[in-house]
Amino acid sequence: MIISAIGKSIDDELETAIDDISQDVLISQIELLLNYSQRFYKRQFMMRKPLNNVLLKTLDRILDQYFNDKTALKCLPTVQYLAGELNISPKYLGDMLRILTGHNTQQHIHIKLIEKAKEILTISNLTVGEIAFQLGFEHPQSFNKLFKSKTELSPLEFRASFN
């Protein structure tokens, strides 16, 4: 009803004679329309918490499967890939994650990646390079850098802390 009323106000303004205030009135109405649109967009995250929690669980399941399927890994999962798997837009996925977890999609991928890396480091004797390739990194140095930035330990230091 609100959007329709604003649309009607814009129509009415366009039908009246143009004067020196017409442009300001139209801009104000369009700004109001955009503000309400933004409100409705953000409100859906509060109103759909159960649905979004299901999406979050599905996202985590997809990431777990991605990191566990050693034959499918050729690269790291992308935001676009995950959004496509969930049948939602990358922007919606990012907004949903920010509301639910406080992280953007890339940060969420990194968190899951580091969890998986820690698991592999503690239960296997694979080299750091083998783990990096298994997780989808092209270069072990990139894996080392990400791991250290997230844990403040290198992968080898992390592994040594468990032995």
Cα first-last separation, the chain? 64
Q: Which of 46, 61, 82 is the last residue of a domain?
A: 46
pTM above 0.85, yes or no: no
d(CA 136, CA 1): 49
Angular region, 53: left φ>0, alpha ψ -120 to 50, beta rest: alpha
Q: Are residues 61 and 111 in the same domain?
A: yes
On the question of pLDDT at 50 being above 60, the answer is no
Q: Are residues 11 and 34 in the same domain?
A: yes
Q: Are residues 37 and 65 in the same domain?
A: no
d(CA 92, CA 52): 10
Distances (CA, A) of 141 to 74, 90, 106, 132: 16, 28, 19, 9
On the question of pLDDT at 42 being above 60, the answer is yes
Tens-place pLDDT, residues 58-74? 999 999 988 887 655 57
Q: Are residues 97 and 136 in the same domain?
A: yes
d(CA 65, CA 17): 62
Q: Are residues 41 and 61 in the same domain?
A: no
**What per-residue confidence (pLDDT) applies to 31?**
94
Contacts 24+ apart (CB under 8 A), 139-145: 143/117
Tens-place pLDDT, residues 51-110? 568 889 999 999 998 888 765 557 889 999 999 999 999 999 999 898 888 999 999 999
Closest CA to 135 of 76, 72, 61: 76
Report percent pLDDT > 70 for the chain.
91
27: DSSP letter: H
Token pair of 98 as six digits: 């920010």
Average pLDDT over residues 134-158: 93
Tens-place pLDDT, residues 11-29? 999 998 888 899 999 999 9
d(CA 42, CA 80): 21
Q: Are residues 29 and 83 in the same domain?
A: no
On the question of pLDDT at 48 being above 90, the answer is no
Average pLDDT, the chain: 88
Q: Are residues 33 and 64 in the same domain?
A: no
Residue 38: which residues within 8 A CB-CB, separation 6 or more? none
Tell me the residue range of the domain where 65 lies.
49-160
Q: Are residues 41 and 59 in the same domain?
A: no
Number of domains in the chain: 2
Q: Are residues 19 and 64 in the same domain?
A: no
The CATH number for 76's domain is 1.10.10.60
